[in-house]
Structure 1
Amino acid sequence: MSGKRSALVLGGSGGIGRAVAERLAADGMAVAVHYAGNKSRADEVVTAIEQAGGHAIAVGGDVAEESDMSAAFDAAEAAFGGVDVVVNTAGIMLLGPVAEFSLDDLDRMHRVNIRGTFVVAQQAARRIRDGGAIVNFSTSVTRLAFPEYAGYAASKGAVEAMTLVLAREMRGRDVTVNAVAPGPTATPLFLDGKDQAVIDRLAAQPPLERLGSPEDIAEAVAFLAGPGRWVNGQVLFANGGIA
Structure 2
Amino acid sequence: MVFGGSRGIGAAIANRLAGDGFDLALTYVSQPDRAAEVVQAINGLGRSAIAIQADSADADAITASVAHAVDRLGMLDVVVVNAGVLRRATIEAFTLEDLDLMLDVNVRGVFLAIQASTARMRDGGRVITIGSNTAIRTGSQESSVYAMTKAAVATMVKGVALDLAPRRITVNNIQPGPIETDLTAAMVPRLRDLIPLGRVGKAEEVASLVSYLISPAAGYMTGASLTIDGGYVL
TM-score by length of 2: 0.93
Picking from 11, 30, 40, the partner of 1:47 is: 40
2:190 & 2:30 partners in 1: Cα distance?
33
Picking from 138, 142, 156, the partner of 2:150 is: 156
- What SS is found at the alignment partner of 2:129? strand
**Is the contact made by 2:136 and 2:151 (CA closer than 8 Å) also made in structure 1?**
no
Unpaired stretches in structure 1, ≥5 consecutive residues:
1-7
Equivalent position of 2:72 in the other structure = 79
Equivalent position of 1:115 in the other structure = 108
Picking from 211, 214, 219, the partner of 2:208 is: 219
Equivalent position of 1:5 in the other structure = none
Equivalent position of 2:175 in the other structure = 181
Equivalent position of 1:229 in the other structure = 219
Query: Is residue 215 of structure 2 the alignment partner of residue 200 of structure 1?
Result: no
Equivalent position of 2:199 in the other structure = 210
**For 1:206-240, what per-residue CA distance to the aligned partner results, in whole angstroms no more than 9, with x for missing partners?**
33210011111111111112232111100010112
One-letter identity of the residue aligned with 1:45: V
TM-score by length of 1: 0.90
How many corresponding residue pairs?
A: 231
- What SS is found at the alignment partner of 2:136? helix
1:97 & 1:149 partners in 2: Cα distance?
8
Equivalent position of 2:61 in the other structure = 68
Query: Is residue 14 of structure 2 the alignment partner of residue 25 of structure 1?
Result: no
Aligned-residue CA RMSD (Å):
1.5
**Is the contact made by 2:84 and 2:105 (CA closer than 8 Å) also made in structure 1?**
yes
One-letter identity of the residue aligned with 1:145: T
Equivalent position of 1:3 in the other structure = none
Unpaired stretches in structure 2, ≥5 consecutive residues:
none
**What are the residue-to-residue correspondences of 1:120-135 with 2, within 5 Å?**
120-135=113-128
One-letter identity of the residue aligned with 2:207: A
Equivalent position of 1:169 in the other structure = 163
Equivalent position of 1:38 in the other structure = 31
Structure 1 residue runs of 4 or more that deviate by more than 4 Å after TM superposition: none
**Is the contact made by 2:70 and 2:120 (CA closer than 8 Å) also made in structure 1?**
no
**Is the contact made by 2:82 and 2:130 (CA closer than 8 Å) also made in structure 1?**
yes
Deviation for aligned residue 1:170: 0.6
2:95 & 2:57 partners in 1: Cα distance?
20
**Is the contact made by 2:78 and 2:125 (CA closer than 8 Å) also made in structure 1?**
yes
- What SS is found at the alignment partner of 1:188? coil
1:208 & 1:136 partners in 2: Cα distance?
25
1:88 & 1:30 partners in 2: Cα distance?
16
Quote the sequence identity (%).
Answer: 38
**Is the contact made by 1:28 and 1:54 (CA closer than 8 Å) also made in structure 2?**
yes
1:112 & 1:182 partners in 2: Cα distance?
18
1:160 & 1:54 partners in 2: Cα distance?
32
Deviation for aligned residue 1:188: 3.4
**Is the contact made by 1:93 and 1:189 (CA closer than 8 Å) also made in structure 2?**
no
**For 1:123-165, what per-residue CA distance to the aligned partner results, in whole angstroms no more than 9, with x for missing partners?**
1232211111011121101221122210100111111121111
